[in-house]
Chains A and B, each alone.
Chain A
Amino acid sequence: MTAAAPPRRRTDTRTVLAYLVLTLGVVLTLFPFAWMLLTSLKSFQELFNLSFLPADPTLDNYRQVLTETKFVQWFGNSLLVAGVTTVSVLFFDSLVGYTLAKFDFPGKNLVFILILSTLMIPTEMLVIPWFVGVSDLQLTRSVPGAYLAIMFPGLMSAFGVFLMRQFFESVPGDLLEAARIDGMHEFGIFWRIALPLVRPALASLAIFTFLGNWNAFLWPLIVIQQPQFRTLPVGTALFNGEAGTQWGLIMAASSLAVIPVLLVFAFFQRQIIEGIVLTGMKG
């Protein structure tokens, strides 16, 4: 692989090399990202200029996005959809993972295999029946109905069940038994004893679920019929038609959309990685 220098004493040279390669990689990786940020600061006249840095940086694109488009509403919709689905996934996937790891009951393996097998069902296969069902129920016009229609597919995830089950396996049974002997209610044992022990796993599940639903595109594109229910990805994708191709606005909107997720990752990255380590790709 990249680091194949044989002599063992030359660790310093290898470390310097690692930094060099990593820095080059970061530059290449971040180039499109930086391009997005910088373009969002360019004025309309400057957009088609080939220069990397804006000569005369302006926040005008941001002002326009925030005041002249539905951006704030889309942002709110996305926040609501991603927030509710994340809370739901964290709660239910933990509960199922805990039950599968810590209880013994007939049909346990069958339940686990059935839930896990849904990972192989392509979303495309589900969206057609979902669409037919949602149309039959005429959900998409009213306020709670439309949001429910957008978010229901994401309320639980098989991946999360797998992740949480792996983690709860490592929680000592004696601890739960002690609480049981003390007369604690079964749900209390889960909620107050087991759940706090799996915080890193919850952190990684939270970020990936939030991100997945924040970015969800196919189903929202299909199911949202009225402009006021558009989520950020759908709204931005349709930006093109509605505002003419206004690159500056698109870049500003996109830059703003990145902020919440990037902040969350920066704050919790240690826990996220620890969460994946501990939940273990133990197979």
Chain B
Amino acid sequence: MATTSDLRGRRAPARSSSRPSSLRRHQIRTAYTFLLVPLLFFLVVRFIPTLTALRLSLFDWNILKEQQPFVGVENYRALLGDEKFGQALKNTALYTLIGVPAQLALGLGIALLLGRIRALQGLYRALYFAPYVTPIVAAAWVWQWVFSPQFGPVNTFLMWLHLPPQAFLTSPGQALPTTAALVVWQNLGFQVVLFLAGLAAIPRVYYEAAEIDGASPTQAFWKITWPLLNPTLVFSVVTGTIAYLQLFTQVVNLNFTDQGGPLGSTMTVALYIYQLAFGRYQMGYASAITVVLFVIILLITLLQLRFLTRRYDV
């Protein structure tokens, strides 16, 4: 914030002694003018609602009722004994633990292979991107059909291989991994593009130098690609985790009812919040869950940023 740094990179700093400060004042005024509307937006649409949710969580808030009594931490205490919430939390953790590593490995693998080919690279790229542009609702319908126990092509294929047909989405044990597979399948296109971009940002010279030094492709991968790809990897893991912790649309659309799969086996925290807030209008209790979800996301994100981020000076 020192005045000297304000003049950084400027050609003609001071023709008269009064000019820098008036220029600086002009800069500050311009900056705040440009930021006025956006700051108002983030305040009104993001920050104030966050505080409102915090406040609602302390009330027995039901939009259909006349009275919204203050209950203090009662909603949070009730959460501790809520088995459905426990199951939703466990499922959400499972989704994240399956989905994030799977889409990272597949996305990076495909991006590496795409980097190896010349001809038709653009076509392959577009084809891998197709699931990502498929509307989630449509993809969920197709998935239901593809994994349908009676007439689904996957079971047809299994029978063709003389393997027993599976219940997939209709079985409490298989519904969650099948749902996770849909999310991974859909996110793959974005992951591929992300890693292609990350790989393209690594200077070719490093690989040429490594080859001259006689490094194998495996060595080159672990010594050059992996460390220099760190920002992309962190980005993928952090944003991926945040997204999986809020999983909703696929889960809702994979079930004809929005009850969260057979015996609640695919239920997520987000879906439970939706049921409570907009099915039963228990907005105070639902808000308490959103606060817990917020704290979980905050902690995990901070931990990931702390432990995953590395700086390499090359």
B41 touches A129 (CB 8 A): no
Say which size band chain B's interface belongs to: 35 or more
Residues A272 and B117 in contact in the complex (CB < 8 Å), given A29-B130, A32-B139 = no
| Chain A interface mostly | helix
Asked whether B76 is an interface residue with its Cβ less than 8 Å from the other chain, the reply is: no
Across-interface contacts of A262 in B (CB, < 8 A): 126, 130, 133
Interface residues in A181-199 by Cβ distance below 8 A to B read: 181, 186-187, 190
A257 touches B135 (CB 8 A): yes
A50 CA to B124 CA in the complex, in Å? 28
B42 touches A118 (CB 8 A): yes
B294 touches A105 (CB 8 A): no
Q: Which of B141, B242, B311 has the most CB of A within 10 A?
A: B141
Residues A217 and B249 in contact in the complex (CB < 8 Å), given A6-B216, A120-B298, A277-B200 = yes
A237 touches B278 (CB 8 A): no
Seen from chain B, the residues whose Cβ lies within 8 Å of a Cβ on chain A are 1, 5-6, 9-12, 24, 27-28, 30-32, 34-35, 37-39, 41-42, 45-50, 52-53, 56, 63, 108-110, 112-114, 116-117, 122, 124-139, 141-143, 145-146, 151, 153, 156, 185, 188, 193-194, 196-198, 200-201, 211, 216-218, 221, 230-232, 234-235, 239, 242, 245-246, 248-249, 252-253, 256, 269-270, 273-274, 277-278, 283, 286-287, 289-291, 293-294, 297-298, 301, 309, 311
B46 touches A118 (CB 8 A): yes
A18 touches B116 (CB 8 A): yes
Task: For B34, give its contact among A96, A118, A126 (CB under 8 Å).
Answer: A96
A281 CA to B196 CA in the complex, in Å? 12
What are the 7 tightest A-B residue pairs by CB atom distance, in nearest-first order?
A254-B138, A276-B197, A125-B290, A129-B49, A283-B231, A129-B52, A103-B31
A21 CA to B234 CA in the complex, in Å? 26
Across-interface contacts of A240 in B (CB, < 8 A): 256
Across-interface contacts of A115 in B (CB, < 8 A): 38, 42
Task: For A29, give its contact among B128, B156, B287, B289 (CB under 8 Å).
Answer: B128
Task: For A36, give its contact among B41, B109, B138 (CB under 8 Å).
Answer: B138
> Using an 8 Å CB-CB cutoff, how does the interface string of A58-93 with B read, 1 for contact, 0 for none?
000000000000000000000000000000000010
Across-interface contacts of A15 in B (CB, < 8 A): 116-117
A128 touches B41 (CB 8 A): no
A258 touches B134 (CB 8 A): yes
A31 CA to B283 CA in the complex, in Å? 41
Task: For A111, give its contact among B35, B127, B200 (CB under 8 Å).
Answer: B35
